[in-house]
A and B are shown apart, each in its own frame.
Chain A
Amino acid sequence: METILLFLSSLLVCVAAVTDPNAQDGKDGKKVENPFVYDYDSLRIGGLAFAVVLFTLGILLILSRRCRCSINQKPRAPGDEEAQEENLIVSKAAAAAKETPAEN
């Protein structure tokens, strides 16, 4: 899971790096001519792209958990629900094993 996370965050940095220069470029280009005019259009596009990328990343993150579950089956699933359910089953079995001696 950590690797996926690392990958996602590095992707995020990349995206940020890509979008920022875009916006910066526009700004720098105009700045020479007139410091009071700002290229808000490319800023808007860059910002929106940034938002969309983040949004998809988030969705992917959620979906990645589901997919991993179904592929790797339950045992390795990181979700705490599954883990607890497992514990419960184990404890039940343990109790069943323990119960007979406890009878007398």
Chain B
Amino acid sequence: MGYGRSDSYRVATTQDKDEKESPKKKGGKDLDDLKKEVPITEHKMSVEEVCRKYNTDIVQGLTNAKAAEYLARDGPNALTPPPTTPEWVKFCRQLFGGFSILLWIGAILCFLAYAIQAATEDEPAGDNLYLGIVLSAVVIITGCFSYFQEAKSSKIMESFKNMVPQQALVIREGEKMQINAEQVVAGDLVEVKGGDRIPADLRIISSHGCKVDNSSLTGESEPQTRSPDCTHDNPLETRNIAFFSTNCVEGTARGIVVCTGDRTVMGRIATLTSGLETGKTPIAKEIEHFIHIITGVAVFLGVTFFILSLILGYSWLEAVIFLIGIIVANVPEGLLATVTVCLTLTAKRMARKNCLVKNLEAVETLGSTSTICSDKTGTLTQNRMTVAHMWFDNQIHEADTTEDQSGSSFDKSSTTWVSLARIAALCNRAVFKAGQESLPILKREVAGDASESALLKCIEDKNKKVAEIPFNSTNKYQSDKHYLLVMKGAPERILDRCSTIMMQGKEQPMDDEMKEAFQNAYLELGGLGERVLGFCHLFMPEDKYPKGFAFDTDDVNFQTDNLCFVGLMSMIDPPRAAVPDAVGKCRSAGIKVIMVTGDHPITAKAIAKGVGIISEGNETVEDIAARLNIPVSQVNPRDAKACVIHGTDLKDLTQEQMDDILRNHTEIVFARTSPQQKLIIVEGCQRQVLYSHANNQNPKLCGLLFCQGAIVAVTGDGVNDSPALKKADIGVAMGISGSDVSKQAADMILLDDNFASIVTGVEEGRLIFDNLKKSIAYTLTSNIPEITPFLFFIMVNIPLPLGTITILCIDLGTDMVPAISLAYEAAESDIMKRQPRNPLRDKLVNERLISIAYGQIGMIQALGGFFAYFVIMAENGFLPSVLVGIRLNWDDRSTNDLEDSYGQQWTYEQRKIVEFTCHTAFFVSIVVVQWADVIICKTRRNSVFQQGMKNKILIFGLFEETALAAFLSYCPGMDVALRMYPLKPSWWFCAFPYSFLIFVYDEIRKLILRRNPGGWVEKETYY
């Protein structure tokens, strides 16, 4: 088992990394070093050599002076916490990250424009100043909001931290002393016993039945024996090294500390994890893309009208102010807040379903995920050994392995079962911890070996031991009359000692037929990846072994063969109940689920089959070879959909072979992988999309074009998963069983350890992506009726139809609630039956969305607004024909006798009241057309009549925006405060036809779109 002996492979990736990271800081070098395998060599040295190396004594331990010296040299034995970002940096990131930058540029441009105006004009209009201030305020408030949101979830994170200081029993100057684990130094002689946490990396020098639980490091569910002998070249495989922060489950051991703190195997993984750079979240990339589009549009419009205004004869400075004005008008002021609130709402909804999201942007990531790499132990499985099958009476019986004992039980009436249960109970040192009588048996905590605990839970111990004499795996017990010899152990060994077999409670001679039946059962259970134990017993004749017979275990003075074989029991770490269903749902959602585990291939494959990662009927290359009875090399790998890859094979693969495997097999299990290999697998998965979606093009070219590929989620709970968790686009850690390091590295935490919550995450992620599109489409649409008045003001010299204040009232007032309410919109179709989005093609905001929002709906809205404007002007006496070109006189304070179409004379103040009434009417018209807009934005494909109006928040939004508009228009004092004037009721209805037109237009568009899938309308307008 070449667990992690992947130096040759590592070299290849290291070079690859160097190329990528060479322009970056020198920190990359350390990281590459960490990516290499563990440098421990002490396991190959003799105990004396180790003692010499650390200047320590095998009996006396270090002297206190030496220990102090080493402590000063090496530092305390603790992991350096990952560098925490200072709070102000986090805050600034919220203030200046992503979308905020757009608003900041807008604000700066506003201040610039105001400065120009202040320098050139005597009485500069305050509009630009106000706009700048409002923009800054919006960014700061939203920044604070999201900062506090994230601070909240990081507080929950801190509650995970285990603050109990660890103690260690060391021997210094011949004296045993209990010291703080942080004080342990290299060379210390340490004693550990069952239940202790290993204080540092130890070279074992003596042990008594010591077993350690390495599951958080290697993913093996079973406890591993520790002994002083070197059994393997690989430090991770050998038995004489115990690792920092793993648990000793039973026995005692004494060892010499070889590494402390960050130099331990765990420490290296933790450092590697915190050193990994993570990319941007998919949603951050989408928002960046959106900013590019919106900036492009803004600059294009700005420059076009800048040139036009120069041609029309405006001065340079005026043109520059127009340019800035147009660019700023394109900034959707309310969108930042909308997006933040939408994401927060989803994060809250997910938290209620036990998915804690550490970073707001990660809310959407699961929705875009196309591959999930899942750890096995503790994530897919329950991480507790359970008896799954039994073989007795020549029949395989199935035990209940579900978490809640809901499964069916087998027939317990056979007398063989009674014997089997008795042996299992007697050959057992595990005991239930006290004070748990009220709990169901499976929930009770057990002290002892995992496999013995499993047996204990299975048989519901009722027997009482009278005496116990340890003899390896053989135990003898005294019953009333005679001694009963019971034995458990490896099945083939047990069988060798047996001459009879128990059938239906009666002893029968063991014939060849029975032996074959035994072999078949053993192979079958072993093939399920289960750990099989054999049980046998012997009633010792009273005449030979009278009461008080002195059994000598060293010099065996009693019969240990010709026993009676009773049965087999097999154990496995069973899958969690909800996992198969969740895996199935991920499948149907087009997500590939890959298992990446440190455990053995057979167990991994069995669990993969159990949970559906390898679906029924799919075979690996080995399966095909076995079925057709041909060598593995003759099987065409393309025929096998599933494959199980061993860590040792993985290290020999080149990047191309790796990609080939990931591309051609849909169901993959990686077994015996080291943490570093997990990282490489994740990187391999992330390269995928460029091939699968662009396979008709030259793959090399694609590789150059899109270096970022598939979006990969990693789930895991152990320390060995944490580098992969960090590297993945979204790392999902387990909240209850997960290690601290993995929780630190993850972006999302499943608080109930339920893998099914991932499905919730995918669902919510996809929904919020769709709904964000709708929100953005809605918010962007009102940009056009907001910009066009200014353009017409410049181009045809009419009095300004819509002012800055009213624009802000729309963006930050009336549009807010409806835009947010779209986040509550239900899915249009079954989003879990859809393929994951292609990050290269399916963008959050694309040209089609802009074309719909700006080019179609927005234009109709602008028409509605202008209609209201011209109606009011005309009612007041200014027919459109007079309005054109009137601007200079209109805005001239000294002109107090401006004549309208009917010859009435207007003073400056009177004209301004009419103008601001027009602003109010334009504003109200936009509100009216936005009613229709929010209703059409509810769906992207379906008709509103199919979708229904079930979204209460949206209806609430409609009411509130109208109420706000009425309030702004009618509240006394508004004419002074915001320069908004009361409107005659009839003016409200000017935009109604346009609102209706928008609704009908879009319903027809969507009808054609549905009727004619893939047609021109879909290609050009489906956003």
Contacts and interface: CB of A to CB of B under 8 A. Distances in A.
Nearest to B572: A103
Contact of A92 (B407, B581, B612, B966): B581
B938 to A, nearest CB: 14
Nearest to B757: A88
B577 A62 contact: no
A45 B787 CA distance: 32
A44 B388 contact: no
B963 A58 contact: yes
B966 A99 contact: no
A78 interface: yes
Interface core residue of A24, A40, A52 (most chain B CB under 10 Å): A40
A25 B610 CA distance: 77
Interface in A76-104: 78, 80-81, 84-85, 88, 91-92, 94-100, 102-104
A1 interface: yes
Contact of B982 (A40, A54, A58, A61): A40
A24 B984 CA distance: 9
B353 interface: yes
B388 A103 contact: yes
Interface string A29-55: 000000000101001101110111011
A47 B580 CA distance: 59
A100 B756 contact: no
Nearest to A97: B406
A5 B949 contact: yes
Given A61-B952, A61-B955, A99 B577 contact: yes
Nearest to B406: A96
Contacts of A61: 952, 955-956, 959
B969 A99 contact: no
Contacts of A23: 984-985
Contacts of A52: 963
Interface residues of B, number: 52
B763 A84 contact: yes
Interface string B521-542: 0000000100000000000000
Nearest to A57: B959
B851 interface: no
A86 to B, nearest CB: 12
A88 B757 CA distance: 9
Contacts of A54: 959-960, 962-963, 966
A62 B135 CA distance: 30
Given A99-B407, A102-B580, A47 B982 contact: yes
A98 B580 contact: yes
A30 B585 CA distance: 69
Contacts of B349: 81
A41 B612 CA distance: 72
Contacts of B983: 47
A94 B577 CA distance: 9
Contact of A102 (B610, B760, B960, B964): B610
A97 B966 CA distance: 57
Contacts of A24: 985
B942 interface: no
A62 B982 contact: no
A51 B406 contact: no
Contacts of A59: 956
Contacts of B400: 100
A48 B970 contact: yes
B81 interface: no
Given A58-B959, A92-B578, A100 B408 contact: yes
B957 to A, nearest CB: 8
Most buried by B among A52, A80, A103: A103
Contacts of A88: 353, 756, 759-760
B826 interface: yes
A52 B959 CA distance: 10
A52 B826 CA distance: 29
B580 A95 contact: yes
B141 to A, nearest CB: 23
Contacts of B580: 95, 98-99, 102
Nearest to B767: A80
Contacts of A27: 984
A65 interface: yes
Interface string B556-596: 00000000000000000011011111100100000000000
Contacts of B985: 20, 23-24, 43, 46
A81 B963 CA distance: 28
B969 A47 contact: yes
Nearest to A55: B963
B386 to A, nearest CB: 11
Interface in B579-621: 579-582, 585, 610, 612
A24 B352 CA distance: 51
A1 B578 CA distance: 34
Contacts of A98: 580-581
Contact of B971 (A48, A78, A85, A97): A48
For A23, A58, A65, A91, the residue with the greatest tally of chain B CB atoms inside 10 Å of its CB is A58
B398 interface: yes
Contact of A51 (B402, B582, B610, B963): B963
A92 B401 CA distance: 15
Among B953, B959, B962, chain A packs the most CB atoms within 10 A around the CB of B959
B955 A95 contact: no
Nearest to A48: B970
Interface in B390-408: 398, 400-402, 404, 406-408
B959 A55 contact: yes
A26 to B, nearest CB: 11
Interface string A1-35: 10001000000000000001001100100000000
Interface centre among B528, B580, B824 (most CB of A within 10 A): B580
Contact of B578 (A78, A85, A95): A95
A38 B582 CA distance: 67
A44 B982 contact: yes
A103 B984 contact: no
Contact of A62 (B575, B956, B966): B956
A97 B580 CA distance: 11
Contact of A100 (B402, B964, B971): B402
A104 B824 CA distance: 43
29 contacts: A23-B984, A43-B970, A47-B969, A50-B966, A51-B963, A54-B959, A55-B960, A57-B959, A58-B955, A61-B952, A88-B759, A92-B578, A94-B581, A95-B577, A95-B578, A95-B582, A96-B404, A96-B406, A96-B407, A97-B406, A100-B400, A100-B401, A100-B402, A100-B408, A102-B580, A102-B610, A102-B612, A103-B388, A104-B398
A-B pairs, top 3 by smallest CB distance, nearest first, are A47-B970, A58-B959, A95-B581
Given A84-B760, A88-B759, A96-B404, 8 more contacts: A5-B949, A23-B985, A40-B982, A54-B959, A61-B959, A96-B407, A97-B406, A99-B577
